[in-house]
Structure 1
Amino acid sequence: MDSRKRKRIRILGKILFILYVIFIVYFLLFSDWYGRTGEMREYHYNLVLFKEIKRFWQYREQVGFFAMFTNLFGNVIIFIPFGFFLPMGSRQRSFIATAYYSFVLSLCVEVFQLITKVGSFDVDDLLLNTIGGICGYILFAICAAIRRRHAGKKTKNRR
């Protein structure tokens, strides 16, 4: 792959990453879809790991499939693009860096929700969001390996 094409892909990655961060900030902090329309009167937080995960799984029939799915899997799914676009659009391409920045972004969101009383601070969300970032990185690594393999075959065929 020539340097111009590589540079365009990196620019595309940066643009997608910025759009994704804007989306995630809006969705997690201000979206009406999750009742973020007003401030709560009290602070809501969970500092016990697996407490909410266990509760949503245990009462899945009472809370409904959608609530259970969005809490358990939605927190993972929403951070997959972060883990994919971060190494694509930056020099931070390591697994550790992606896991760290996924955790930091999730922590910022959770602390903001706690301070502003819009949503709740939940350590389970930190875990699930970080797992989502890691899944995105794994997807990125697989795609990069496929791209390198494909590019290697092209250069062999040209010789």
Structure 2
Amino acid sequence: MNSGSRKRIRILGKILFVLYIIFIIYFLLFSDWYGRTGQMQEYHYNLVLFKEIKRFWYYRDQVGMFATFTNLFGNVVIFIPFGFFMPMASKHRSFLATLFYSFGLSLCVESFQLITKVGCFDVDDLLLNTLGGVAGYLIFIICVALRRIHGRKK
């Protein structure tokens, strides 16, 4: 792959990264899809790791599979693009950088929810969001490896 193609891919990655950040801020903080339009009267937070994960799994028949899937897998899936586009758009392409920035973005979102009383602060969400960012990074690494293998064959 020549230098011009790499530069175009990098620019595309940066554009997609910015669009993704705008989407995630809107979706996680302002979207009414999860009832985020109104402010709660009191603070809601969970500081016990795995508490909400266990609760959703244990009561999955009562809360429904959609709610269970959304809470457990949705928090992972929504951060996969972050882990994929972050190394594409940044000079920091390491696993640790992706782990740190995924956790940092998730912490910012959760803290904002706590402060504004829109949603609730949940350490399980921090874990699941960070795992999503790491999964996205692993997909990025696989794609880079496949591109290099394909490039060598040409």
Match of 1:73, SS state, is helix
Cα-to-partner distance string for 1:80-109 (whole Å, 9 max, x where unaligned): 000000011111111110011000000000
Aligned partner of 1:33 in structure 2 is 33
Q: Which amino acid aligns with 1:30?
A: F
Cross-structure match for 2:113 = 113
Structure 2 Cα separation of the partners of residues 84 and 102 of structure 1: 11
- Aligned-CA RMSD value: 0.4
Specify the alignment match of 1:53 in structure 2.
53
Matched with 2:14 is 14
Opposite residue 128 of structure 2, the aligned amino acid is L
Structure 2 matches for 1:114-153, cutoff 5 A? 114-153=114-153
After superposition, what is the alpha-carbon deviation per residue over 1:114-144, rounded to whole angstroms, capped at 9, x for unaligned? 0000000000000000000000000000000
* Distance in 2 (alpha carbons) for counterparts of 1:69 and 1:38: 24
Q: Which runs of 5+ in 1 are unaligned?
A: 155-159
| C-alpha deviation, 1:63, in angstroms | 0.1
Bigger CA radius of gyration: 1
- Alignment size in residue pairs: 154
Instruction: Name the stretch that deviates more: 88-97 or 108-117.
Output: 88-97
Amino acid at match of 1:45: Y
Give 1:152 deviation, angstroms.
1.2
- Once residues 52 and 116 of structure 1 are traced to their aligned partners in structure 2, the CA distance between those partners, rounded to angstroms, is 21
TM-score normalised by the chain length of structure 2: 0.99
- In the superposition, the TM-score normalised over structure 1's length comes to 0.96
Q: CA deviation at 1:153?
A: 1.2
Question: Could you say which residue in structure 2 is the equivalent of 1:73?
Answer: 73
- Partner of 1:150, secondary structure, is helix
AA paired with 2:39?
E
Unaligned runs of 5+ in 2: none
The runs of at least 4 aligned residues of structure 1 exceeding 3 Å deviation read none
The DSSP-based 3-state class of the residue aligned with 2:102 is: helix
Distance in 2, matches of 1:37 and 1:94, equals 37
